[in-house]
Amino acid sequence: MAFLELQELSKSFGRTRAVERLSLEVEQGEFLTLLGPSGCGKTTILRLVAGFEQADAGRILLDGEEITTRPANRRPMGMVFQSYALFPHMTAEQNVAFGLRLRRLSPTLIHRRCEELLALVGLADRAHNYPHQLSGGQQQRVALARALAVEPKVLLLDEPLSALDAAVRVTLREEIRRIQQQLGMTVIYVTHDQEEALAISDRIAVMARGRLEQLGAPEEIYRRPRTVFVAGFVGASTRLPARLERAADGHCRLGEILLRVPPQPELSDGAAVLLVVRPELVTLQQLEEADGVAVDRSQSQEQENLLTGIVELRTFLGAVTRFRVRADGGQLFTVDLPGLQARTLVPGQRVLLAFPPEACLVLPYGESEAEAAAGRSGRAAVVGQVSPEREPQPEHA
């Protein structure tokens, strides 16, 4: 039996279904992240677990005990809010001590515990500062110490880093992970930032429209997305609608081109699929004008998929440079190249695109999914992607 179980949870606000029959299990000491776009229901789940909202249906079990209807102040949960929610009239130490005072611990014990916790979050010298005298990052550290003070069985973090600047966000998320591992704390973390989710989680639950799309380890979510939504939401990718010609052999038709993909024995010939290719798995090679038609496909096609195209956009992202390349067949590809390789490529240049069959993730792609993907990807925040690439790619095929 899992430490925290959510069984068939449903919650509506008026006519809006925020969470729909969601089941989820969290193990003790696990760091689980609820990831999804705004309005997908991830914060509602956290609030249901915290007891700030009551579920319309379903059950919540903690350590085998049902807590579905238990008031928030009687649940062994700690909560860290996006807006810090520190009590403005109390110092950092008094904020941390608040929960301990309610438990009527001795003043000596409270003082010692506050000192330990403020030291844990690196704010031992700020104990007597009021919230307004602290920076955003420091306030959130105090909020974390305050939540940890009451030794909750589950720590809930609701987009705790959203209000902080980029540098503080990275530092603090590493701190949160360090503290979680140091204390062996069970954590549910809500974010819409996929990079944050991939960086600190043991498992990620990707959500859309109040439902669980996929649950798995960060690498699994990134490398093997199971749905079109997850493929589009987590990480940058090129998404190409295609049709399987010989599913068992992994032959796939993309317009006029025949691509090699991993064999798909479970799919039938002629099935509509979506090919998902991560940008770092595609390579680019500069072509001279005359070479454009002289690519000897017969030799290399067995190993790699080769296409020719023109660089449309070049975006420098620091460690990598991102290219938008329009293939001769009209498809748009997103390609990430390390700095050195990217140096010579500029917009307008003809290039050879190459990617191995294993780089192609094949997802069944019906009409409804196509519509859903088109609808979702407009809202989905994809870190690192330049805005033109956020538009759904399949329309160009």
Do 192 and 381 touch, CB atoms closer than 8 A?
yes
For residues 388 and 333, the answer to whether their CB atoms sit within 8 Å is: no
Q: Two tokens at 379?
A: 């809202």
Closest contact distance (angstroms) between CB of 31 and another protein is 19
- For another protein, give the closer residue by CB, 12 or 341: 12
Kindly determine how many residues on this chain lie close enough to bind another protein according to the rule CB under 8 A. 49
- For another protein, what does the binding mask look like between residues 145 and 184, x meaning CB under 8 A? -xx-xx-----x------xxx-xx--xx------------
Q: Which stretch binds another protein (CB under 8 A): 69-77, 202-210, 300-308, 333-341?
A: 69-77
By CB under 8 A, is residue 191 in contact with another protein? no
CB 146 to another protein: min, Å: 7
Q: How far is Cα 67 from Cα 81, in angstroms, rounded to an integer?
A: 21
Angle subtended at Cα 331 by Cα 329 and Cα 337, rounded to the nearest 5 degrees: 115
Cα angle 245-249-254, degrees, rounded to a multiple of 5: 35
Q: At closest approach, how far in Å is the CB of 211 from another protein?
A: 25
Q: Closest separation between CB of residue 204 and another protein, Å?
A: 24
- The total of other beta-carbon atoms located within 10 Å of residue 293's CB is 9
Segment 71 to 90, residues that bind another protein, using CB under 8 A: 71-74, 77-79, 81-89
Q: Minimal distance in Å, beta carbon 79 to another protein?
A: 4
For residues 131 and 394, which CB has a smaller minimum distance to another protein in the complex?
Answer: 131
By CB under 8 A, which span of 131-139, 178-186, 219-227, 316-324 interacts with another protein? 131-139
The residue among 99 and 216 lying less far from another protein, judged by its C-beta, is: 99
Question: Please, which residue, 135 or 268, has the CB nearer to another protein?
Answer: 135
When the beta carbons of 3 and 81 are compared against another protein, the nearer one is 81
Dist CA 336 CA 323 (whole Å):
6
Residues numbered 235-294 forming contacts with another protein, rule: CB under 8 A: none
Question: Minimum Å distance from CB 397 to another protein?
Answer: 41
Neighbours of 352 (CB within 10 A): 18
Measured distance CA(122)–CA(216) in Å, rounded: 32
Residues 234 and 227 sit within 8 Å (Cβ to Cβ):
no
β partners of residue 316: 321
Taking the least distance from each CB to another protein, the nearer of 122 and 356 is 122
Q: Kindly state the smallest distance separating residue 17's Cβ from another protein, in Å.
A: 21
Q: Work out which of 98, 226, 258, 396 binds another protein, going by CB under 8 A.
A: 98
- Beta-bridge mates of residue 361: 276
Nearer to another protein among residue 3 and residue 98 (C-beta) = 98
Closer to another protein by Cβ: residue 137 or 218:
137
Residue 335, interface with another protein (CB under 8 A)? no
Q: State which of residues 132, 265, 344, 368 lies at the interface with another protein (CB under 8 A).
A: 132
The smaller minimum CB distance to another protein, of residues 164 and 311, is found at 164
Residue 105 binds to another protein (criterion: CB under 8 A): no
Classify the C-alpha dihedral 232-304-331-334 as positive or negative: positive
201 binds another protein (CB under 8 A): no
- Candidates 95-103, 111-119, 292-300, 373-381: pick the segment binding another protein (CB under 8 A): 95-103
Pick 15 or 132: Cβ nearer another protein: 132
Interface residue list for another protein (CB under 8 A):
50-52, 71-74, 77-79, 81-89, 98-99, 102-103, 122, 129-139, 141, 143, 146-147, 149-150, 156, 163-165, 167-168, 171-172
